[in-house]
């Protein structure tokens, strides 16, 4: 499955977090796209299309569970799951920051 383009991700970030400046959203999208774990591509596409995200479990977490834990934007949850996919300790810390 092909990664979504950076501009589509940036547009979705602005949709969910309208207080951001477009150049900041683009920078966030670019960073995320460069580091995106391929297992997250289906969830990213669902998010871009405004669809409910399927539960794609990576270790102990999926986007839906992270969203329930953190109550953050879906993009933030995708970022946390991506971090967890690359570094479980840092990802777990990011998910639970301020919750314990």
Residue span of the structural domain in which 39 resides: 6-96
- 42: in domain: yes
Confidence label for 99 from pLDDT (cuts 50, 70 and 90): low
- 19: in domain: yes
- 49: in domain: yes
Rounded to whole angstroms, the Cα distance separating 38 from 34 reads: 11
- 1: in domain: no
* Total of domains in the chain: 1
Whether this model's pTM surpasses 0.85:
yes
pLDDT at residue 85, rounded to an integer: 98
Rounded to whole angstroms, the Cα distance separating 84 from 42 reads: 17
- 91: in domain: yes
pLDDT tens per residue, range 64-97: 999 999 999 999 999 999 999 999 999 999 999 9
pLDDT at residue 1, rounded to an integer: 82
In sequence order, what are the residues at sequence separation of 6 or more whose Cβ sits closer than 8 angstroms to the Cβ of residue 73?
16, 17
- 60: in domain: yes
Q: Is the pLDDT of residue 43 over 70?
A: yes
C-beta atoms surrounding 35 within 10 Å:
12
Residues in the chain: 100
Q: Are 85 and 40 in contact (CB under 8 A)?
A: yes
């Amino acid at each position: 499955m092909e990664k979504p383009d950076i501009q589509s991700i940036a547009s979705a970030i602005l949709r969910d977090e309208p207080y951001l400046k477009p150049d900041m959203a683009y920078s966030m999208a670019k960073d995320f796209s460069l580091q995106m774990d391929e297992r997250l591509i289906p969830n990213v596409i669902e998010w871009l299309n405004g669809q409910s995200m399927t539960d794609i479990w990576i270790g102990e977490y999926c986007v839906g569970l992270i969203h329930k834990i953190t109550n953050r934007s879906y993009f933030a949850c995708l970022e946390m799951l991506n971090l967890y996919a690359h570094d479980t300790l840092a990802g777990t810390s990011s998910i639970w920051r301020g919750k314990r």
